[in-house]
Amino acid sequence: EADIYQTPRYLVIGTGKKITLECSQTMGHDKMYWYQQDPGMELHLIHYSYGVNSTEKGDLSSESTVSRIRTEHFPLTLESARPSHTSQYLCASTKTVRTEAFFGQGTRLTVV
Amino acid sequence: GENVEQHPSTLSVQEGDSAVIKCTYSDSASNYFPWYKQELGKGPQLIIDIRSNVGEKKDQRIAVTLNKTAKHFSLHITETQPEDSAVYFCAPMGGYQKVTFGTGTKLQVIP
């Protein structure tokens, strides 16, 4: 059982609201990732982190931002949600770059 | 970054038949080759992996084969069952720091 948790699981929010999606892992992994995925489709990397105070943008441009103040915590923030942000967001972590990636259950975001 | 392609994008098989999914990659420094299974409403989960010093690995009904020269590796599922229905992703890892997943294959096993 993976020790990586995402909250909330589901979120419906109005346009223009600020939201933060939480991701925490208890495995002590340095590397963490955020992916955006539409149902049954590709996993698009939007942010990643090598460790505390390290964040990088991924392959897919995103209006979201991330922070990594603690090893175990990697929250994703949208300052002003729009309907185009409706998607599933998956958080993952790895011990090193060449080992298994552990995923959270995901947050399904709907912006109305 | 790493360019990763999977084929086919969708695959339907009769229960009991075999399924094969192929993943091609571009980074010759890749040395870790995992396959993930994503069931509906869940995050992907590792089902089998192989490292570059091994050509084939088997775990019950699933196996992974690697061809480093041609830069591809494949997932083989034998005696498919309805619970094998899911989306499968490869994620070859090498010199790049970020984890790049393949485009995904939706497998449907028809009872």
- What residues 82-101 of chain A have any CB closer than 8 A to a CB of chain B? 90, 92, 94, 97-101
Q: Does A33 touch chain B (CB under 8 A)?
A: yes
B6 CB-near residues (< 8 Å, 6+ apart) = B21, B22, B23, B24, B88, B89, B90, B102, B103, B104, B105
Q: Closest Cα partner for B75 from B31, B26, B18?
A: B18
Asked whether the beta carbons of A30 and A95 are under 8 A apart, the reply is yes
Task: For residue range B20-59, list pLDDT tens digits in order.
Answer: 999 999 988 888 999 999 998 899 999 999 998 889 999 9
Task: For residue range A36-64, list pLDDT tens digits in order.
Answer: 998 768 999 999 999 999 999 988 888 89
Which member of A94, A97, A104 has the closest CB to residue B43?
A104
Q: Closest Cα partner for B42 from A44, A106, A40?
A: A106
Which member of A41, A90, A98 has the closest CB to residue B43?
A90
Task: For residue range B74-84, list pLDDT tens digits in order.
Answer: 999 999 999 99
Asked whether the beta carbons of B23 and B90 are under 8 A apart, the reply is yes
DSSP string, A27-74: S--SEEEEEEE-TTS--EEEEEEEETTEEEE-SS--S-EE--SBTTB-
Mutate to test the interface with B, among A90, A97, A102 (most CBs of B within 10 A): A97
Residues of B in contact with A92 (CB under 8 A): 43, 99
Give me the percent of chain B exceeding a pLDDT of 70: 96
Asked whether the beta carbons of B62 and B46 are under 8 A apart, the reply is no
Asked whether the beta carbons of B77 and B86 are under 8 A apart, the reply is no
- Dist CA A27 CA A42 (whole Å): 26
